[in-house]
Amino acid sequence: MPKDGSGLSLDGLGLPLWLVLELTYKCPLKCPWCSNPVDFDQYRNELTTEEWKKVLRAGRRLGSLQLGFTGGEPMLRNDLEELVAEADSLGYYTNLITSGVGLNKDRLRALKKAGLKQVQLSIQSNDRQHSTKLVGVDVLDHKIDIARSIKAEGFPMVLNVPVSRFNIERTEALIDLAEDLGVEYLEFANLQYYNWALLNRAELLPTREQLAKSEAAVNAARARLGKKLTIFFVVPDYYDDRPKACMNGWGAVHLTIAPDGTALPCQEARLIKGIDFPSVRDHELDWIWHKSPAFNKFRGDSWMSEPCRSCSEKEKDFGGCRCQAFLFTGDAANTDPVCSKSSNRHLIDNLIARAEQRGIPETACDGPLKMRETKRRQRSEAQ
């Protein structure tokens, strides 16, 4: 699926080719880089099974082809197998994006029978103690066991590593683990700094030295392994001088439905203040995609100001990430500050300078990370 940091460029001919269903924001892990909203516990009115099925049918009518079931942790939905079966009957290529918690051999077999086509499993470390510090729960042994079960059931599998300065030194070890597990794809996804990752950015952002060393290890493994293992390495865009073509452009090929039914042009978009994102409970998906003000707000280039408006690369990067522009400048219509042409590029450079000064961590987690937890729990632990 296209996302921040991906190098994929695709003309979807105005169709939402990638549909992502965030079935729930609930998750047993406490990852301090979680992409869910910081106030995720405020969104409790999840769509019902029948409401999700309506979304699936509407998505196919719009032209959606690839479908991601994600969260939170989608395995916490007891109707996941039923939704997968519905999606398969409609002709979607279905992908489960999971931490592995809640997944077992019986549910794997049920999901395969329902028509699930691929599994993406997240893993944060090759070391149990280190993994527990990073995600707040002792789950590494289960992740490895379920990875072997996923392969035993014959699923194509992506092993996804969310990369920060706390685990980037383990690149070679994680490649060895992926090779041992027999997965087809390994993705080192350097974090994109939104929501929980934004809260912890000062601690999580790796140094240039770490990135260079990690990418060298990836390139060496590519040469050694060839087609045996495909390795993706997604660099944090702060270190580029041109912005990524985020989601191939706003409302171009990607459509996310949040647990409460809110429709979004990317999974992070609801953090932009001042945009009224429509709900599938109030509007037909066809209207949302084609006619809603939210999805049309940053389509094309008429919304652009300088330097984007006259830039020769605007049809390649679409002005970059609207969420990032909002977070740094307070205006989602501004040029992505990653761009060297942006008057706000110094904000990015200051962050990088601080990361360089902080250096490589001496221990597995040497910083005060804010772990993903509900505000209620944070208050109770503070008392």
Instruction: Point out the annotated binding site.
Output: 27, 31, 34
Element (H, E) at 120: strand 118-122
Distance of alpha carbon 48 from its chain centroid, rounded?
Answer: 24
194 exposure class (CB count in 10 Å sphere: 0-12, 13-18, 19+): buried
The answer to whether 335 and 341 have CB atoms below 8 angstroms apart is yes
User: Which strand ranges, in their side-by-side order, compose the sheet holding 93-98?
Assistant: 230-234, 185-190, 157-163, 118-122, 93-98, 66-70, 18-22, 254-257, 263-264
Residue 18's DSSP bridge partners are 66, 254
Buried b (16+ CB within 10 A) or exposed e, 23-47: bbbbbebbbbbbbbbbebeebeebb
Instruction: Enumerate long-range contacts of 74-78, CB under 8 Å, 24 or more apart.
Output: 74/23, 74/24, 74/98, 75/99, 75/100, 75/101, 75/102, 75/103, 75/107, 76/24, 76/26, 76/27, 76/28, 76/102, 77/23, 77/24
- Binding-site residue numbers for [4Fe-4S] cluster are 27, 31, 34
Phi and psi at residue 67, in whole multiples of 5°?
-130, 130
In the numeric block, which tokens belong to residue 247? 């989601």
Phi and psi at residue 125, in whole multiples of 5°?
-165, 165
CA 72/CA 99 separation, integer angstroms: 9
CA distance between the termini of the chain:
42
Q: Name the pairing type of β-strands 185-190 and 157-163.
A: parallel
Going by C-alpha positions, the residue among 103, 256, 251, 232 that lies closest to residue 174 is 232
Give the orientation angle of helix 140-152 with respect to helix 128-135, to 10 degrees: 100
CA 113/CA 218 separation, integer angstroms: 35
